[in-house]
Structures are given as structure tokens and as C-alpha cells.
Amino acid sequence: MSQLEIKDLHIAIGEKEIVKGFNLTIRQGEVHAIMGPNGTGKSTLAKAIAGHPDYTITSGDVLIDGRSILALEPDERARAGIFLAFQYPSEIPGVSIANFLRGAVQARLAEGDELDATAYYKRLYSKMDLLKIDRKFTSRSVNDGFSGGEKKRCEILQMAMLEPLFSLMDETDSGLDIDALRIVADGVNAMRGPKLGILLITHYQRLLDYIVPDQVHVMWDGRIVKSGDKSLALELESKGYDWVKTELVHA
């Protein structure tokens, strides 16, 4: 079983330190939720792990099965098993979802290997069935004019096709109405299993009504300040983030 280890990670944007000693280990099969107020570094953490060039890792390490991924380019990290679902996915007019995903899957193959079209569509349709996505969906341009829910559905289909070891999902609930939220949650739950480790970043407790995490972590000022089971999310919902702050001051 693979594990993703985030060890005493410090991340800066320019001169400013945003993530200040973040520690977490995620094993395949586990779902960890990170909650925290806006501006606390949740997105910074996810993007830096995926290899976004704006973020500098100043110290600490990120390892998959004991091997650091920090020297790898973003595409190599993806091939090593990391998937990042964006908070705000890009629109790619003129490129159909079917072709986009085909390119993404092809890029995973070894040099010179050609993706078999029949096998690809078979896999695509089985994933779409699993996620209850209409076949017509894949002929549309990637995220072009999509609703918030459709964009998230497209991200989740990508994740299903790429079969990562670890998926970092950043505010998958942002901009979603309650029906769309359910669709996304159902998708994540459909893919949940022993082969996938999930880091679910959310600002709201409501997503966790549908996706029940194994562990909940509260992030504050760039690090985890509290961890617990799903009841911690409920406690946060009723007491608010100020409660955590007050506890910290008195600790």
C-alpha cells in the first residue's frame, strides 16, 4: 500500500511564508479532510505538492513511499500518482472532453506507446457509467460555458480516467448548489476504495455530510492545529473557527 508523506513542509510565495510546518501522512484508501478559514494556505499546500511554479518549498519534504517528489516536474509528479483537482478549473474552448482526456491518458504511456482507441473508449464509458455521466457530455469543449457543477464533474471524470494514487481535491464544493454538491460527492464516493487516497480541502462542513472522511484536520495559519474524526467537522460547524483560535491562545 502506497503512502503520501508531507513532512514539516514550509511553503513561500515570493518572500512570504504561507505554509509553516505542515505534517500529514495519507495512505491509499484513506480520506482526509482539511478545513480552515480563507487565506490559511490550503490551496497553497495543494498546488505546491502538485508542483505549481509560483510556490517555493523552502524546507520539509513530500514523499511517495519514501521517495521525495520535490525534484520532479508537475507532469512527473502526476505520473508518480498525484492528481490535483482545481478550485477554479480552466476553460479550453475547441477541445472536447473526449480528446482532452485521451491526450491526458496518452501522456501517461511510455514513449512510443500508442493508446488503443477501442480500449480507451471502453474505459471512458465505464468510468462515465460509474459516475452516472451522460455520454453527450464528452463531446462538449472542456469547461467551456460549464456550470460550477459541470466543471467539477469534468474534474472528477479526469481523476477517474487517470487513476491516481492520491487525489488532492481543492474546494470541490465551491460554487456548487446542493444538487451539484451531491453529484460530486457521489462521484468521489463511487471512486473511493483501497487504491485511492484523498485529501479533501474544504471551507464548509456541508460537503462532509456526503463524503464522510476518515480524519478531519483543522488548518490555521499554515499548519494543522487540530485533528480528529468526522465529529470535529460538526464541532467546527457549530462553534466556528474562532473556537479553534481561542483554544490555541489558551493552550
Instruction: Find the shortest distance in angstroms from Cβ 96 to ligand ADP.
Output: 30
Query: How many Cβ atoms sit within 10 Å of the Cβ of residue 94?
Result: 8
Residue with smallest beta-carbon separation from Mg ion: 43
- Give the whole-angstrom CA distance, residue 241 versus residue 165: 31
- Give the whole-angstrom CA distance, residue 22 versus residue 58: 12
Exactly one of 15, 53, 54, 94 binds ligand ADP (CB under 6 A); that residue is: 54
Exactly one of 43, 143, 158, 202 binds Mg ion (CB under 5 A); that residue is: 43
SS3 113: coil
Part of the chain binding Mg ion (CB under 5 A), chosen from 38-46, 132-140, 153-161, 231-239: 38-46
Q: Are the CB atoms for 177 and 209 separated by under 8 Å?
A: no
For the chain, how are helix, strand and coil distributed in percent, rounded to 5? 40, 30, 30
42 or 127, CB closer to Mg ion?
Answer: 42
103 or 240, CB closer to ligand ADP?
Answer: 240
Q: Are the CB atoms for 233 and 205 separated by under 8 Å?
A: yes
Q: Which of 180, 191, 189 has its CA nearest to residue 127?
A: 191
41 or 187, CB closer to ligand ADP?
Answer: 41
Query: One symbol per residue from 9 to 48: x for binding ligand ADP (CB under 6 A), - otherwise; what is it?
Result: ----x----x-----------------x-xxxxxxx----
Contact of residue 54 among Mg ion, ligand ADP, none (CB under 5-8 Å per partner type): ligand ADP
Contact of residue 164 among ligand ADP, Mg ion, none (CB under 5-8 Å per partner type): none
Output the DSSP codes for 127-172.
Answer: HHHHTT--GGGGGSEETTT--HHHHHHHHHHHHHHH--SEEEEE-T
13 or 224, CB closer to ligand ADP?
Answer: 13
Instruction: Find the shortest distance in angstroms from Cβ 170 to Mg ion.
Output: 6
Interacting residue ranges for ligand ADP, rule: CB under 6 A: 13, 18, 36, 38-44, 54
Name the site residues for Mg ion (rule: CB under 5 A): 42-43
